[in-house]
Amino acid sequence: MHAGALVLVSLQLSSSLQTLKLQQNLLVDFGAFPDSIRELSRRCGEAEGKFSLVLKPAAADSSSSSSSDAVLSFQETNPFRELCHLSLQVCRGTDRQVKEYLAECIRQLQGMGQEESGRAARLEEELGKARAKVEEKTAEVRVRLCTHLFFLISLSRTPFVLKDDS
């Protein structure tokens, strides 16, 4: 594999959540497990950097009966130590999984593209209306300006005489 290459990893819990809970002293119930994973992932993405998501290659020792390619850990860092909240063994995605994932990404991007096209069309319509309104107001200002200019010109042609009431 090339350095810096992107790899899709997948997780399939081959053992029960109960086994995982016992192995890692988890307190979360089965129904809340996906939401808890999402919450940990969200916290890893926060800017403050207290939580991190670490992907390490699996140990290459022969005593391990695991067929995982890597270990994905949700870690919290405090001034004293790094705490692992959850550690999951993950495998490299198969060609089929990669294709399905990329196809879903393409569908989402197409949907976003359609939404943005619709938004652009609405904005162009609003811009056209705004330009028409500006042209209308500009024409009104020109008419008023011409009217005022003609009035001023007519005033300048009229003799102006000061009457002396003495």
**What percent of the chain is modeled with pLDDT above 70?**
83
Overall average pLDDT of the 36-57 stretch: 81
For the chain, the structural domain boundaries read 9-93, 94-156
Look at 28-37, 81-90, 152-161 and tell me which has the smallest mean pLDDT: 152-161
Overall average pLDDT of the 3-28 stretch: 72
Per-residue pLDDT at 62? 45
Highest mean predicted confidence (pLDDT) among 8-17, 59-68, 82-91, 131-140: 131-140
pTM above 0.85, yes or no: no
The 10s digit of each residue's pLDDT in 96-125 is: 989 999 999 999 999 999 999 999 999 999
**Distance of alpha carbon 52 from alpha carbon 77, whole angstroms:** 8
Give the number of other Cβ atoms within 10 Å of residue 149's Cβ. Answer: 10
CATH number of 9-93: 2.170.210.20
